[in-house]
Amino acid sequence: MGAVNDFDEKVGIEHVEQVHTAMGTQALDDLDTIEQTQSGKYAWLVSITAAIGGMLFGYDTGIISAVLVYIGASLGHELSSNEKELITSITSGAAFFGAIFAGATADRYGRKIAIYVGCVLFIVGAILQAAAFSLAQMTVGRLVVGFGVGSAAMIVP
């Protein structure tokens, strides 16, 4: 029971992984530390975009509560409780559907494109909200932001 099986040894087999760096191709064993590898500008751009995508939902949820206090004058009348509820909740409802469609987008075009789509939707929705002068426009802006937030929340993690 304590005997070692000598037949399982794989003598003479060597697997060397190659790493492509800015300085050329090196064997993985030649790199002593992670600091010897370099990230390009594209990797940084994708990383920052992914980080922003993760912050979208928290930012949007936190900021709308402060905005609702002052938004009534900009939309032409003091908002009722039902209108405030609509403005707040439409984003969460749209995020549900944005997350569903984000999976299909990521499967078809890749995660990076899906992250970019989510961020663009968020930006477009934010512009619509900033330019809104009626409840309908604000609701549409919140709807578009919800699609972006749901998309980013689905793809980024």
Distance CA 113, CA 117 (A): 6
Q: Residue 145 above 80 pLDDT?
A: yes
Residue 145 lies in a domain: yes
- pLDDT (0 to 100) of residue 34: 58
Nearest to 141 by CA among 40, 25, 63: 63
Q: Which domain holds residue 109?
A: 55-155
CA distances in angstroms from 72 to 85, 93, 120, 142, listed in the order given = 13, 22, 27, 15
Q: Residue 96 is part of a domain; what is its CATH number?
A: 1.20.1250.20
Confidence of residue 56 (pLDDT cuts 50, 70, 90): confident
Residue recorded with tokens 């191709």 = 25
How many structural domains are present in the chain? Answer: 1
Nearest to 139 by CA among 64, 100, 73, 88: 88
Q: Residue 36 above 60 pLDDT?
A: no
Residue 111 lies in a domain: yes
